Structure 1
Amino acid sequence: MTVLHLRLIVPADRTDEVVRTVEHTVGTTHLVVLPGVARNPAGDVVLVDVAREAGDALLGELRALGLDTYGSIAVENIDLSLSKRADKAEEEAPGEGADAVLWEHLTEATHEESTLSVTFLAFLAIATMIAACGVVLDNAILIVGAMAVGPEFGPLAGLSTSLVQRAPRLAARSLIALVVGFAVAMVLTTGFGVLMDAFGLFHKDQLARPRPNTDFIWKPDMFSFVVALLAGVAGTLSLTSAKSGALVGVAISVTTVPAAANAAVALGYGEIDQMWGSTQQLLLNLAGIVVAGTLTLLAQKYLWAKQRERTLGR
């Protein structure tokens, strides 16, 4: 069962309108109205459970009423709901909860994940430095670890979401996070490589020698783009269906952070061919994820709309 719990704070003179909207939405249940209990903002509190597949439509109608402006809308997932009414609400709601996309939640989540912050820069820089150790030592385990640490999928998902939702501010925020984030991470990793060389831990010969486990990082081909497309689809589905475990798998399947690390270390040693090849690999993977993520969201939006039409038209 996939049920959402909504807590609404509504000015007293708008409560009837909001309650009517909730009652007319298929897939809602457990409606509770608490008059006059809210203090900031002042008003009534309305509680309601809604099947996930009906959640996006209800949130859209509540925002159309301006409730997010003059009141408050809070949403949380219910892990367990033992109720025949909840079962009935989910049966009545169109489609399947696992296929539903909560666009408001997706926009908010990607907005947060695509913000350029000290924490974002720290994770990306650390991931790139770990990957630098991996490429110099030709150690696949370190490469996988670096991929898992990297936070770059957030801005990539934000960019895809912004293109589908036509949200220019989210697009700008995501692009800034990607460009500035990778630039800072690569500069710091170049310095890290120089420092490691000074301590005798990195050597230019290690980068130039054959590296059967990590050579692919600076040798992009069509398979790189295909994998990026597949990862973009899987990552987008994991976000829209809240499957965090799948998102971890996506993180360790695309060579964005390792490519940035190889480019940074190669730059420090003057290995221009490797630096250019790694940069191409990085751009190819970033582009593939964004293209796939955008197409996946467009397909979900279209298919969900068709499914709702068929269900409600019965």
Structure 2
Amino acid sequence: MLHLRVISPAAQTSALLRVLRADGGVTHLTVARGAAVDPAGDLVQADVAREAANKVLADVQALGIVHTGGLTVSAVESVFSDAAERATRAAPGDPDDTVVWDELLEETHEESTLNVTFVAFLTIACLLAAIGVATNSPVTIVGAMVVGPEFGPLAALSVALFRRDRPLARRSVLALVAAFPVAMGITLVATLVWERFGWITAEEVMAAHYIDFIYQVGPFSLVVALLAGAAGMLSLVSAKSAALIGVFISVTTVPAAGYAVVAATLGEWQRAFQSVAQLAVNLVGIVVAGVLVLALLPRAGRRYGPFGQVVQMFSGRPRR
């Protein structure tokens, strides 16, 4: 379930309560008159079934309270209540299959922001990837995959394409287009220094067969990117963080960028171009898979998407 916390001007509280009471997916409704100080007003709180959240949030925002008061939504990990069970049963669909769009948009908007922190993480990841290439270390490559923050903008771009949200699309593309060249440029300088010290040699890189998968583009490159993108989007809409970590380890984005830099400094242009191709395949595959997942999952006003219909067919569970 989701916990809804609203600061409502006293004049709008009655209308807000009517909206919340009218939806069977809302429970644990409480009001504290005059409890809010800034902005001034009443504090209204409720728990909302995920399946009902899109409609409830839309109805509350239609009252204009986001401009005159405040609206906060947070996930509730555990709820022990018969009333909550009734609210969940009253809402159509399954909570794990429900995309709460306001929640997803807020998260992807934050993750797609181009700032110093994003560039710093991407740079560190590229440097780790370059070190992994130089030392023939798959463990270091995996570390670079986990540190890389690039899935955020890719997921945001998937959401933007699905919803035709041009501002979010521009924001996501800007984060990727601006951050990758900066990170790769810093990695280029560092790699040249390491080569000058003799820490990286062409012979060692060419003999590093444990990490050949980084630059070798094949049909499974796209397959893995599609599967990882699908798993990543599912983890975002269902709040499965453990699955998202697995996605980071699956895709060859940052390692390909790091390998391209190292290969270019050593004059191994074929491997450099192959690495760039690997990077492009992974980026495109993740975005395409994210869009497909959003298209197949249930949407507002529709109880079950294609996935849900198949599950219902074989599980025998009654439709609510």
* Pair in the same fold by TM > 0.5: yes
Deviations 1:141-184 (A, max 9, x none): 11111101111000000101111222211111111111111111
Corresponding position of 2:236: 239
1:100 touches 1:304 (CA, 8 Å); kept in 2? no
State how far apart, in whole Å, the 2-side matches of 1:266 and 1:145 are.
Answer: 20
1:22 touches 1:28 (CA, 8 Å); kept in 2? yes
Aligned to 1:201, what secondary structure does the other structure show?
A: coil
Corresponding position of 2:312: none
Amino acid in structure 2 at the alignment position of 1:62 = V
User: Residue 305 in 1 paired to residue 268 in 2?
Assistant: no
1:129 touches 1:189 (CA, 8 Å); kept in 2? yes
State how far apart, in whole Å, the 1-side matches of 2:80 and 2:296 are.
Answer: 33
Amino acid in structure 2 at the alignment position of 1:78 = V
The offset of 1:70, in angstroms, is 2.0
% identical equivalent positions: 48
Where do 5+ consecutive residues of structure 2 fail to align? 310-318
Q: 1:154 aligns with which of 140, 152, 155?
A: 152
Q: 1:16 aligns with which of 14, 17, 22?
A: 14
The offset of 1:25, in angstroms, is 1.2
The offset of 1:69, in angstroms, is 1.9
2:98 touches 2:299 (CA, 8 Å); kept in 1? no
Amino acid in structure 2 at the alignment position of 1:223 = F
State how far apart, in whole Å, the 2-side matches of 1:5 and 1:141 are.
Answer: 40
Where do 5+ consecutive residues of structure 1 fail to align? none
Deviations 1:196-250 (A, max 9, x none): 11122111222233x3221121121121011100000000000000000000000
Q: 1:84 aligns with which of 62, 68, 82?
A: 82
2:99 touches 2:299 (CA, 8 Å); kept in 1? no
Corresponding position of 1:263: 260
State how far apart, in whole Å, the 2-side matches of 1:303 and 1:75 are.
Answer: 18
State how far apart, in whole Å, the 2-side matches of 1:5 and 1:26 are.
Answer: 15
* RMSD (Å), alpha carbons: 1.9
User: Residue 212 in 1 paired to residue 223 in 2?
Assistant: no
Amino acid in structure 1 at the alignment position of 2:106 = E
Corresponding position of 1:115: 113
State how far apart, in whole Å, the 1-side matches of 2:23 and 2:37 are.
Answer: 27
Aligned length: 309
State how far apart, in whole Å, the 1-side matches of 2:192 and 2:125 are.
Answer: 17
Q: Which runs of 4+ in 1 moved over 6 A?
A: none
